Structure 1
Amino acid sequence: MFNRLTPFESSLFDEFKRLEQEIDDLFARWPWPIGIRSAARGAFPPVNIGATSDEVDAYLFVPGIDPKTLDISLQQNVLSVSGERKLPRDEKANYYRQERFSGTFRRAVTLPEDVDPDRVEARCENGILHIKVKRREATKPRQIEVK
């Protein structure tokens, strides 16, 4: 079927390829996420959040950042992490593309209403910041035994 393309068919496919490239370029400049697993451009650090009936776990990927310089707070169920990422830069070099984020950052994530702000733990290991927030005991379902 495609073994012998006429010049018209060949130019038609070239036009589709050009159109596809233009659409890709358009979405590359799009400031908002375009997929369920996407983050907005400049969203740093990337975050994964999971929950169980006992706690909420937040994982932030912060390679190259000194954990002692991070500011972590939990206020009204909003977990906030801020800091600064400094990358070495050669002033003599001409950079054609820089995709690693450099500068100050702040990520804020709303957590479920039953988290306990007094029971928060944070650990950083191998560039992964793990914040564990326990849930309030009063909001956990109680198993009632029938006698």
Structure 2
Amino acid sequence: MLRVDPFSAVDDWTRSLLTGDLGATRRIPRFMPIDVYKVDDHYSLVADLPGADPGSIDLSVDNGVLTLSAHRSSPSEDGVQWLASERFSGTYRRQITLGDGVDPAGICAAYDNGVLSVTIPVAEQAKPRKVAIEHSGAGRQEITTGTTEPTTG
């Protein structure tokens, strides 16, 4: 099972309110949209990282937490007169708690056209399986149930 931390977005929002930085002058990333879903024997995580520097994308797993970070550089500020500045630059970061039912050693990822796709396999012990039931005719015991009348004395 995977769990997404909804509080990281709230922390970012609160930090921007407390520091007075609402992104009007500094183009700081506010969020990294992701989709997480399960298909057969693996989970898929898809993250939108348009314009992220491919060499800056980092994916790590530590103590059951998958951390994804990426950086998008801003154009040089020298001699630039901004008319509109809506595209964020800076570092994106998301953390997702992995459950016990995944195989962290088998995680793989690919980055293509601004989209990072991460495959997180389900651990072998967490996969559903059929349990064989042995049938033996010998050694059967018959169990009877019933109520016994209380004795009065």
Give unpaired runs (5+ residues) of structure 2: 1-12, 15-27, 136-153
What is the CA–CA distance in structure 2 between the aligned matches of 1:54 and 1:103, rounded to whole Å? 35
TM-score (norm 2): 0.60
Q: Number of residues paired by the alignment?
A: 110
Q: Say whether 1:101 aligns with 2:91.
A: no
Q: Say whether 1:126 aligns with 2:106.
A: no
Question: Are the equivalent residues in 2 in contact too, given 1:44–1:101 (CA < 8 A)?
Answer: no
> Which structure features the higher share of helix residues?
1
Structure 2 match to 1:142: 129
Question: Are the equivalent residues in 1 in contact too, given 2:53–2:71 (CA < 8 A)?
Answer: no
The structure, 1 or 2, with the larger RCO (C-alpha pairs under 8 Å, 6+ apart) is 2
- Counterpart secondary structure, 2:100: coil
Answer with 90-99 or 122-131: which moved more.
Answer: 90-99
Displacement of 1:95 after TM fit?
A: 3.5
1:72 to 59, 72, 76: 59
Question: Are the equivalent residues in 2 in contact too, given 1:77–1:115 (CA < 8 A)?
Answer: no
TM-score (norm 1): 0.62
- Counterpart secondary structure, 2:93: strand
Letter in 1 for 2:39: T
Question: Are the equivalent residues in 2 in contact too, given 1:56–1:133 (CA < 8 A)?
Answer: yes
Give unpaired runs (5+ residues) of structure 1: 1-30, 33-40
Look at both structures and tell me which one has the larger radius of gyration over its CA atoms.
2
